[in-house]
Structure formats: C-alpha cells, structure tokens
Amino acid sequence: MRMVARLLSILLLVLSLAGAAFAVEPSEMLKDPALEARARAISRELRCLVCQNQSIDDSNADLAHDLRMIVRERLSAGDSDAQVKAYLVARYGDFVLLDPPFETKTLILWLGPALVLLLGAGGIYAAVRRRPAAAVETPLSEAERQRLAEITAEDDAKPDRPMGRQG
C-alpha cells in the first residue's frame, strides 16, 4: 500500500511538471545555446495573451507559440533583449509584459488592487457605523419586579400538564 502511494505521488509530480516542460517545443529551440537562454529568459517575462496568467514560456497556446517564434526570430536577427520587448509592446501593448512599467498609462494596473482594498475597507467601516447601537439593558422597576414575581408564582402553582395537546 505504501509503495502504491509513493508511485502515485511521483506520477502526480511528473504530470504537474509535464505541461511547463513541453511548452517550448524542440522545433522552436535555437541552435545557439546563448541565444536560446536569452529567448527563454525573455519568454518568461511575456504574458500569454490567451492564458493571461502564464508566461509564453509556460503556455501551450498557439499564440504563445507564435510569440516564442517572434522572440527567437528577433534575437536571431540581432535585436537586443530590450528591442525584442519593445517590438512586442509596440504590437500588443504593455499588457504583454508580466511586469508592466510604472507609468501614467499603467497606474490602474499598479494602484487598482490597493484602491479596491481601500474601497472595501471604507464600505465595511461605513456599514459598521450605520448599524444601530446595541440595546442598553435597563434594570426592572420595583413594580415590574413584583409583577414578574406574581407571574412566576402562578406558573409554579399550576400542576404540570402532560405533553401533548395543550389549550
């Protein structure tokens, strides 16, 4: 039983790594190892426009394949890493970068999460402030205590009724 569990664990680990391992196909790879390393580094910084939460290096989407090929073509043509990224940004916008620059046009990307958090905290604060105050318990007056004592004495004096229909 222990051996089966161990084999299943290994199988799950291999399967979880398989998607990323096979995203870059052997036919895409450049012959020059230095250029291929640069291409892989750039690909890890570019967003798959289909998957959106994956780099093109990890994605199996057709568009990610096309973008990986563009990166390799530009590097083979002699472009620097910055020129390759600038080419893709000019074509697809800052959204193609997994880490967009901090500029006026990308402020919403950088400040949006903090703004949503602040608005949520403000909403919770406003809701708490609008909630009615807890009822204040006031002690019973002497007349109320006497009436309560009379009611409980009457209940204590009544014989217990059997369960069932009461009336």
Q: What is the pLDDT of residue 21?
A: 45
If DSSP states are collapsed to H, E and C, what string results for the chain?
Answer: CHHHHHHHHHHHHHHHHHHHHCCCCCCCCCCCHHHHHHHHHHHCCEECCCCCCCECCCCCCHHHHHHHHHHHHHHHCCCCHHHHHHHHHHHHCHHHECCCCCCHHHHHHHHHHHHHHHHHHHHHHHHHHHCCCCCCCCCCCHHHHHHHHHHHHHHHHCCCCCCCCCC
Q: What's the whole-model pTM score?
A: 0.54
Q: What is the pLDDT of residue 131?
A: 84
Q: What is the pLDDT of residue 9?
A: 72
Q: What is the pLDDT of residue 20?
A: 44
pLDDT tens for the chain, 167 residues long, are: 777 667 777 766 665 554 444 467 666 777 788 888 999 999 999 999 888 788 998 888 889 899 999 999 999 999 999 999 999 999 998 889 988 888 888 888 788 889 999 999 999 999 988 888 777 788 889 999 999 898 888 877 777 666 555 55
